[in-house]
Amino acid sequence: MSRIATFGNDLYTGRRSIDFVGRAKTWYAISAVILVVALLGFVVRGMNLGLEFTGGSEFRVATAGAPSDYTTRATDAVRETAGAGASANVSVIGGSTVRVQTEELTSDEVRAVTEDLAGQFDVQPAEVSASLIGPSWGESVSQQALRALVVFLALTAVLLALYFRAWKMALAALIALAHDMLITVGIYTWSGFEISPATVIGFLTVLGYSLYDTVVVFDKVRENTADAFETRRQTFAEAANLAVNQTLVRSINTTVIAVLPIIAVLVIGFARLGPGTLVDLSLALFVGMTVGAFSSVFIATPLLAQLRSRDRAVVELDEEAARYHERHPAQQSAPATVGAGTGSHAATGSERQSTPTRPREEAPADPDAPQTVTGRTVHKYAQAGPRNQPRRTPRSKR
C-alpha cells in the first residue's frame, strides 16, 4: 500500500517518471504488433455477422444435459421440417443449452421445428426458444448499426474539435480512437463470437469510454504545457510526459475498477451462458476499455507531442527550455528533453524509465554545481532559494 502511495507521490511530483513520450517508438511498435494481429483477424476469420444481421432462425433448447449425439438429433429435427437438404449449425453453449442455427424458416416451419426439437431432446416445447429474423429486418438492423457508428463518430469528432479547440489534439485523440476501435473489433473477430446488435452497442460505448480517457489525460497535458509555455523551463514533451505520469494512477485505478465487473460477467457468461447480449456486450467492452486505457497513455499523448514538435511555438519553447537546462544543468527535475529529438532519445533510453536528470547529470559538465554530501547535485529549488519563488496563481486557476 505504502509503496503504491509512494509511487503515486513520485509520479505526481515527477520525481519518478516513466518516459511515455520519449519512448514513443516502443509503444508504437507494440501497438503496431497488436494492430496487425487484430487486423489479421479480419482476414483469417472474417467478420462473423450474427443472425440479427444476416437473417435466419435460431433455436435454443434448454436441456438437462446435452446428450452426446445432440448434433444428429438437432439436424434430424430441422430436416424433418425443412427438407433433407437443410443445413443446421448445432452447438452446445453454457454446458446444457443446445443452439441450432438454420436458414431462414417461415413462421410455421419455426413452430414445427420447435416441436420436433422438443421431441428430440425430450423437453417441453416451452423450453425451446426460437427466434426468426427476416432478411429485411437484418438489413435494417445493419443499416441502423452503420448509421449509429457514423453518427457517433461524427459527433465525437465535433465534440473533440469543440473541446480542445486545437486540431492537433483532436487529431491525436481521433487516431487513438480509431486505433482502439480497430483493435477491439479485430480481437472480437478473433474470439469467433458473432457480431450482434449488442456487440455494436458495446463498440460504441467503447468509443465513448476511450474518448473520455483521452480527454482526462489531455486535460492535464493542456494544463501542464500551458505552464511550460509560461515558465519556459520545460519542453513541451516534458510537460506532456509529466501530465501522463500524474494521471497514471487514476488511469490504472479507473480501468481496473471498470474492468473488474466485466471480467466477472465474462467468466460466468462464458462458463454458463454462451453468446448472448450479456457476453457479447461484455467482451466488446472488456477489450475496448483495456485498449482504450492503453492508447490514451501510450499512443495519444506521444502522438500529440510529435504532432506539435514542429510547431514554431513548441520549437521555441523547446529551445528556451534547453537553454534553461544548460544554465541549470543539474537542477532538472523533469525527464530529459525529448521534443524534436524523440528518436535519438528513444534509442538511448535503454532503461525502463527515464529518471530525472539522467543524461546531463552523467556528463561532468558542471562539477561546480552544488552537491549534497552523497555527491548528488542539489535540487534547483533548494539551490535557487527563496528568490526563485514563482508567482502564485489564484486558487481558481490551478
Partner 1 sequence: MSTERRDPIARRARRVLIALLVAVTALIGALGAGVTFSDANWSPRLGLDLEGGTQFVLRPVTEGGQGVSSEQLEQARDIIVQRIDSQGTSGAEVTTQGNENIVVAMAGRPSAEQEDAIRASSQMQFRPVLATFVGSPQPEPTATESGASEGGEPESSGEGSSESPSASPGSSSPTSASRDRARVAPAEQSSPPQSEGSEGSEPAESASSSATPTEGEEGAGDSATSSAPQGGQAGADPFGWEPSGEPTSPTDPNNISKETYEKFVDLDCSAQSSQVPETNPDEAITACSEDGSLKYLLGPQVVAGSSITDAAAGYQTTPQGQITNTPEISLSFDSEATKTYSEVSSDLVALPNLGQTPANPPSSYNALATVLDGTVLVAPGFREAIPNGTASITGSFTIEEARALAQSLKFGALPLSFEVQSKADISPTLGSEQLRFGIIAGIVGLLLVVGYSIFQYRALALVTIGSMTVAFGLTYLAIALLSWGYNYRLDMAGVTGLIIAIGVTADSFIVYFERVRDELREGRNLRAAVEAGWERAKRTILVADGVNFIAAAVLYVLASSGVRGFAFTLGLTTLIDLAVFWFFTHPLLTLLARRKFFASGSPWSGFEVETLQQAGVRYRGRAQFDLPSERKPRAGVTSDGGAVL
Question: Could you tell me the smallest distance in angstroms from the CB atom of residue 167 to partner 1?
Answer: 20
Asked if residue 348 binds partner 1 (CB under 8 A), the reply is: no
Report the run of H or E that residue 59 belongs to, with start and end: strand 56-62
CA separation for the pair 15, 23 (Å, rounded): 18
Cβ(284)–Cβ(184) below 8 Å: yes
Taking contact as CB under 8 A, which single stretch among the options 106-114, 164-172, 175-183, 337-345 is the one that binds partner 1? 106-114
Query: The C-alpha cell of 173 is what?
Result: 485523440
- Partnered with residue 384 across adjacent β-strands are none
Q: Among residue numbers 368 through 387, which ones bind partner 1 (CB under 8 A)?
A: 372, 376, 378-379, 381-382
Asked if residue 158 binds partner 1 (CB under 8 A), the reply is: no
Question: Could you tell me the smallest distance in angstroms from the CB atom of residue 144 to partner 1?
Answer: 5
Among 101, 120, 189, 282, indicate the residue that binds partner 1 (CB under 8 A). 282
Question: Could you tell me the smallest distance in angstroms from the CB atom of residue 351 to partner 1?
Answer: 6
CA separation for the pair 207, 140 (Å, rounded): 22
Q: Among residue numbers 199 through 218, which ones bind partner 1 (CB under 8 A)?
A: 200-201, 204-205, 208, 211-212, 215-216
Burial tier of 235 (Cβ tally within 10 Å: 0-12, 13-18, 19+) = buried
Query: Cell 438454420, residue?
Result: 102
Ramachandran sector of residue 336 (left: φ over 0; alpha: ψ -120 to 50; beta: rest): beta
Question: Could you tell me the smallest distance in angstroms from the CB atom of residue 291 to partner 1?
Answer: 15
Among 77, 98, 133, 314, indicate the residue that binds partner 1 (CB under 8 A). 133
36-75 footprint of partner 1 as x/- string (CB under 8 A): ----------------x-------x-x-------------
Angstrom distances, CA of residue 156 to CA of 162, 208, 294, 297, 380: 10, 8, 19, 19, 43
Question: Could you tell me the smallest distance in angstroms from the CB atom of residue 250 to partner 1?
Answer: 5
Query: The C-alpha cell of 245 is what?
Result: 505520469
Among 36, 151, 313, 347, indicate the residue that binds partner 1 (CB under 8 A). 151
CB nearer to partner 1: give 39 or 215: 215
Cβ(216)–Cβ(250) below 8 Å: yes
Taking contact as CB under 8 A, which single stretch among the options 169-177, 178-186, 272-280, 318-326 is the one that binds partner 1? 272-280
